[in-house]
Amino acid sequence: MTARNWGVLMVLCGAIFLEGIDVAMLNVALPAIRAELGMSTGELQWVMSAYVLGYGGFMLVGGRAADLFGRRRMFIGWLAVFLLFSGLGGLASDGWMLIVARFVTGVAAAFMTPAGLSIITTSFEEGPQRNRALLVYSGTAAGGFSIGLVVGGLLTAIGWRWVFFAPVAMSFLILVGALTLVPESPQPERRAGRVDVAGGVAITAAIVLLVLGVERATHTSIESTLITFAAGGALLAAFVAVERRATAPLVRLGIFRSASLLRTNAIGMLLFSGFFGFQFMVVLYLQELRGWSTLQTSFALIALGLDAVLAPTLTPWLVRRFGNARLIFGGMLLSALGYAMFLPLGVDWTYAAMAPSLIMLGVGLALVYGPLTIVATDGVEDSEQGLAGGLLYTSFQFGAALGLAGAAAVNVAAPGTPLDGFRAALAVPFAAALIATSISAFSLRTGRRREPIPA
């Protein structure tokens, strides 16, 4: 790759690192935010949920917008919005202000992230060059989340508002780099009035309601949850009906005829479901049952960030040697084993007893995350690369919400001691990894053969 190619890649990696570190730092800062703003548990939960709703709900529209209105324009414009509202979050004097700021920040990330991914998939030549770029990109994303846990603990010790101000400085530098290095992307021909507004409204509302239903499942009645899911399902059906009749659909439904694409997104959803559910339970176990400090917990979980080191170094060689399908299967199998080793959790486990599982999960993520991103965009026309990225990241976000809600629900409902609750909840990520492993086994049949996306 040329020096300019590396420069473009570093800018895009900076943006995905920013998104990961922003979420991780906020996780660590929540107790301090509650103490200063006097927020109830329900309000505090919405500080996280508002971001997930904005991110997951608008991701598919954001990905398609990159295809329709220009990837560079979407990336730079929404990066500026991300910068602005991250700073406003740090200035919040009341809980509702912080919640609104987090929702808009999530929406900005939903437009910025698939635009960045599609810039990579359309700027780098398909094959080893693109694969290397995507593996570096995915490793940076994982590294942002892991490093954010530690940095968030350090910044919160100074003052929780720095958790919001620090990303402002970083996003400003990325914005300057993007204006300088990221090339203009070709914009497809569009006639006025051909943008599928009805489809965009329907799918956004549907995903927001489905994610909302998952997020609130443990905090509201089963009747309310079922009504929310039913409304989301009805809007999803309406979206399909709109797309079938639209002359220029937001999402070409033929893309879903690819079994490879469906498998990839299902594995992505289950990967994040297990990973986020596991991390949530382990954080609670270490802090609430064991009495570990925030900083101790952050350093303990940094082993999960091995992906940041392995993805750009070891994984490219493994992809060339064994192929994406085998790496995804092997990584999910290793993850399932890592979760299984954590199931007999003890009340007095040493870190040495936990470390093998954490290391295995970090390695498993390195084997799956990057190759999954490659497969999700492989064989997709340039005009739909933003859509493919939006589908993948929507699966990631929905999976994360599902894993968190599922693990929390099992933890609360499990009878016995708090330790029994943690053990029961850890079965959720284990089950998700087993299902993902089974799905990925089907990809081994196609091996190195690429399945084209139906026209």
Neighbouring C-beta atoms of residue 193, cutoff 10 Å: 8
Confidence tier at 445 by pLDDT (50, 70, 90): low
What is the spatial distance between Cα 217 and Cα 376, in angstroms, rounded to a whole number?
30
- Give residue-wise pLDDT tens across range 124-147: 887 888 888 888 888 888 778 778
Question: Looking at residue 335, what is its pLDDT?
Answer: 95
Query: What percent of the residues of the chain are helix, what percent strand, and what percent coil, each to the nearest 5?
Result: 85, 0, 15
What is the spatial distance between Cα 147 and Cα 153, in angstroms, rounded to a whole number?
10
Neighbouring C-beta atoms of residue 31, cutoff 10 Å: 12
Q: At what angle do helices 222-245 and 197-215 cross, to 10 degrees?
A: 160
Whether the pLDDT of residue 81 is over 90: the answer is: yes
Whether the pLDDT of residue 194 is over 70: the answer is: no
Nearest to 2 by CA among 121, 146, 122, 124: 124
- Give residue-wise pLDDT tens across range 336-367: 999 999 999 888 899 999 999 999 999 998 89
CA within 13 Å, CB half, 201 = 5
Provide the percentage of residues in the chain whose pLDDT is more than 70.
94
Question: Looking at residue 2, what is its pLDDT?
Answer: 80
Whether the pLDDT of residue 192 is over 70: the answer is: no
CB 405 within 8 A of CB 423: no
Question: Looking at residue 303, what is its pLDDT?
Answer: 84
pTM of the model: 0.83
Whether the pLDDT of residue 117 is over 50: the answer is: yes
Tokens coding 398: 């929905």
Question: Looking at residue 269, what is its pLDDT?
Answer: 92
Q: Tell the burial category of 427 from Cβ atoms under 10 Å away from its Cβ (0-12, 13-18, 19+).
A: middle
Residues 6+ apart with CB under 8 A from 295: 150, 153, 154, 157
Question: Looking at residue 186, what is its pLDDT?
Answer: 67
Question: Looking at residue 244, what is its pLDDT?
Answer: 87
Nearest to 274 by CA among 441, 50, 437, 48: 437
CB 109 within 8 A of CB 82: yes
Tokens coding 298: 């952050």
- Give residue-wise pLDDT tens across range 151-189: 887 888 788 899 899 889 889 999 999 999 988 876 655
- Give residue-wise pLDDT tens across range 239-289: 889 888 887 787 778 778 878 888 999 999 999 999 888 988 888 888 778
- Give residue-wise pLDDT tens across range 298-343: 788 888 878 778 877 888 889 888 888 999 999 999 999 999 999 9
Whether the pLDDT of residue 291 is over 80: the answer is: yes
Query: Average pLDDT in the 222-239 region?
Result: 90
Q: Which residue has the higher pLDDT, 408 or 104?
A: 104
What is the spatial distance between Cα 55 and Cα 69, in angstroms, rounded to a whole number?
19
Neighbouring C-beta atoms of residue 131, cutoff 10 Å: 21
Whether the pLDDT of residue 68 is over 80: the answer is: yes
If DSSP codes are grouped into helix, strand and coil, which group holds residue 96?
Answer: helix
What is the spatial distance between Cα 280 and Cα 275, in angstroms, rounded to a whole number?
9
CB 311 within 8 A of CB 138: yes
Phi/psi of residue 73, each to 5°?
-60, -45
Query: Average pLDDT in the 99-118 region?
Result: 91
Whether the pLDDT of residue 101 is over 80: the answer is: yes
Query: Average pLDDT in the 70-93 region?
Result: 91
Domains in the chain (CATH in brackets) are 1-183 (1.20.1250.20), 197-249 (no CATH), 257-455 (1.20.1250.20)
- Give residue-wise pLDDT tens across range 386-442: 888 888 888 888 888 788 878 888 888 888 888 998 999 999 999 999 999 999 998
Question: Looking at residue 439, what is its pLDDT?
Answer: 93
Question: Looking at residue 448, what is its pLDDT?
Answer: 47
Q: Which residue has the higher pLDDT, 156 or 451?
A: 156
What is the spatial distance between Cα 339 and Cα 337, in angstroms, rounded to a whole number?
5
Question: Looking at residue 247, what is its pLDDT?
Answer: 79
Question: Looking at residue 187, what is its pLDDT?
Answer: 60
